[in-house]
Amino acid sequence: MSLDYGEEFAGRRVLITGAAGLIGRWTAEAFHACGAELLLSDARAEPLAELGETLGAHTAVADLSTADGVERLLAAVDGRWPTADILINNAGVYPRTPLATTERAAVERILDVNVVAPYQLARHVIATMTRTGVRGCVVNIGSGAARRTTRTGGVYAASKAALEMLTRWLAMEAAEAGIRVNTVGPGFAPGSEVSALPGEHVAKMRAAIPLGRTSGPHDAPAAILWLCSGAASFVTGTTLDVDGGRTAGDFTPTGVSAT
């Protein structure tokens, strides 16, 4: 599949968090193929360095669960560019724990990475875009979990629901400056941190996707690129689910009992 935007993204300054993860890496590769200048961030130094070297990208190691980590990343951005043109808030954590064993510290970490850090980064980048006259884009990476949870994923689901509302608020705040803010909800992608499950569970998840397959390298990045392109110039404050219909409802393949 070709993601051909010509010269539209050539030289555009793109900040991607959680870049060493599967969705982050796919997104970085897509922007790189379009000629963008990348600043990639992740808490994991080694895979981040490898990705940065492969793509010829700038990198910044930062733990976004801490205020210091967020400030370190913002300092790296400000030291590199007057502003980012595009911010992809992709970093996220998803520990699976039931209510009885979910402690306050775990809740705070999930919210810090999945909600607070995207807020702080977007707030700063929207300010620098506005100051420099850049009509840029912010894309927050959400999840269908914002609308359907599991017994062990409640805090994660709550964080993604909060992120969707954060997107809508930021979109209204930034609109007068010509800055657009949207959410993309990627589908189930085996091999990602969120989807690190046994083979039999992967098969079960695949069977629940109406289009009959899991998410691949071009699915979420295609949506992200489109939202950041001129083709989506009238799109802001929305969520685009790219999940094969998973969030549409409970799906049972023909010939399989739903009970």
State the catalytic residues.
156
CB 29 within 8 A of CB 221: yes
The owner of tokens 């009959």 is 212
Q: Which residues face 60 on adjacent strands?
A: 41
Closest among 123, 106, 224, 253 to 177, alpha carbons compared: 123
DSSP per position, 171-214: HHHHGGGT-EEEEEEE---TTSSTT---HHHHHHHHHTSTTSS-
Would you state the structure tokens that stand for residue 184, as one six-digit string?
Answer: 């993309």
Determine the Cα–Cα distance for residues 229 and 224; give it in Å rounded to an integer. Answer: 9
Q: Give the whole-angstrom CA distance, residue 193 versus residue 94.
A: 8
Residues 6+ apart with CB under 8 A from 41: 15, 16, 17, 18, 19, 48, 59, 60, 61, 62, 64, 73, 76, 91
d(CA 172, CA 163): 14
